[in-house]
Structure 1
Amino acid sequence: MIKFYDLKKVNQRYEAAFHEKFEQFMQRGWYILGDEVALFEENFANYCQSKHCVGVGNGLDALVLIFKAYIELGKLEKGDEVIVPANTYIASILAILQADLVPVLVEPKLETFNLNPDLIVEKITSKTKAILVVHLYGQLTEMDKIEAIAKQNNLLVIEDAAQSHGTDSGVKSSESGVGIAKAYSFYPSKNLGCLGDGGAVVTNDDDLNSIIRAMRNYGSEKKYVNDFIGINSRLDELQAAFLNVKLPDLDADNQKRREIANRYLDEIKNDKVALPFYDGSTNHVFHLFVIRTENRNELQEYLKENGIETMIHYPVPPHQQKALKEFNSLSFPITEKIHREVLSLPISPELAEEEVSRIIYALNHY
């Protein structure tokens, strides 16, 4: 069986380095917010061409902390509206709700799966204060268009970059005046994944950085002195150590993903399968390679019978989830079509050429 994503295989090449990091961790005897977290924050900020990186407990917390910090800064108020793609993973919407803000769902483009800039303006009201873009499946959203809309309407732009480690966006656009922050997840299956949960906020905003740095640690910059209503969401010292080991290979691993994606795009020839859009640039890191088909369950079963494991990202759109019952009566035809048809093929830096060939062969004979 070709596994969808073999985590054991992905991390096997780092085993010796992980053991060495663990020994250093044990010898140091400092387990929370130590040298490894500080080093990773420096390393990842540099990698993202950013001034600041704040390590937090997970990607959801990273988003929540961004919104809550903007409330502390007076740039958002509870009850403000935040535009968000309707077809995102539910965590994007949960973050908005957990910060006491109001999500306004907007359809994506069918070709890219990302937020459609042409549909944003009609959803802007006097209460709209921010746009949360999601670089779904690893492909950068059309940021130039969205930043122009944000600037014209004095909106904040926040990026859910949980699936897009290594795209060409950087955080240079913070100089545009609309303000920007990016939330990352280091969940084990991400392009840069640790061996547990982890996340980070990346920003060029000095004030935002200071508040989030305090808020992740009970709202405290100085021990026993609490300036904000904070939470406990600190990147684990050991997970930071593992991320420091893996970060130097991220670009090479992303390039391997693109090579596999290019083979799929060039060699899969089946009218029943719609392939994803890719412009050939480094604006896509192929966290997932997502095809569409009208017979999704049938195709998934066929591939399973041929020894190929696939996944569905995601089977139920957020507005149809029981947890979001206030949205259940809404209709988003493009989002619903995407969630009904998508199927993710194996794509991993550890995938062998012959395995890629087997997957292509199976799809061409479906």
Structure 2
Amino acid sequence: MAVTEQAENPFPAPSVRDTQRYVASLRLSVAPMMDWTDRHCRVFHRILAPGARLYTEMVHANAVIHGDRERLLGFDRCEHPLALQLGGSEPVALAAAARIAADWGYDEINLNCGCPSDRVQAGRFGACLMREPELVGDCVAAMVAAVDIPVTVKCRLGVDEDNEYDRFAGFVDRQVQAGAAMVVVHARNAWLQGLSPKENREIPPLRYDWAYRLKRERPDLPVALNGGIASVQAAQAHLQHVDGVMLGRAAYHDPYVLHALEAAQTGAALRTREELLLQMRPYVEARLADGLSLKHISKHLLGLFHAQPGGRAFRQVLSEGAHRPGADWGLIEQALQVTRDRAERVA
């Protein structure tokens, strides 16, 4: 339900004003993922990777303007640096939404030019915008004029049978000309017909060389790479060619990879999965006290023990118990103990 009286941002924080300093910190980020990277997921990811840049789920500009802003935009102060990803293709609406987001304390506005879903196409935003570089440039310019935080673009290499590097590079150049501070390249095409969003993340071939070339030919343009990055070794290899890597599904299904990658980049000591999980307790208990059901948080924790002894038991205990009335932190402790027991038996 839309609300007309909006609550003040409960977690105000100073926004990043130094664009150069901000874009220089993009070596590791987590992709915006619908239904996944909500505020509870992002708190967990912040524990795993204290320096990573986090992105919200995509929110349409009109929803920001007319909708429930606490539900759509609310976040915990620990999530900084945090970017809001916007969807839309109307410069005026995007500028208004960007101003609202900046007032709420977001550090970056990112425009989605990569989502291929039918619903998104019907609204004339997402990946289909790659065929309209001038319109996207007008949108970027409007947002840049409206806020003093970085405006960035996340795009594909092209849509359908677009196989011309120069067309892709021209799209990027138009956005930089309009004031985009950075580009995130999902290094595969989006097929607007015939493939589901899931298939669009898997079937079109990855062409990392296009992103490498873009960075090589435009050394002053910050370029982050997204798509198919699932290991520390792969991420480190890509960082020899681009400024940053953005993890998507890997950060969700096997979140310890996110922690291991940040540790590899910063030289920090690796912490155990159990140590990281226990850090969630204050947040979980605070949200439960607010009336939130445990299932809304615990679903983001399921992959923490991926491929580890006891990992399946951990997921099973949480999955079966979190939806029950009264489920609390004790269920997570129970899942952790079952995992310990299984791991000891294997050892």
- Structure with bigger RCO (C-alpha 8 Å, 6+ apart): 1
TM-score by length of 1: 0.30
| Structure in which a larger fraction of residues adopt helix | 2
TM-score by length of structure 2 reads 0.31
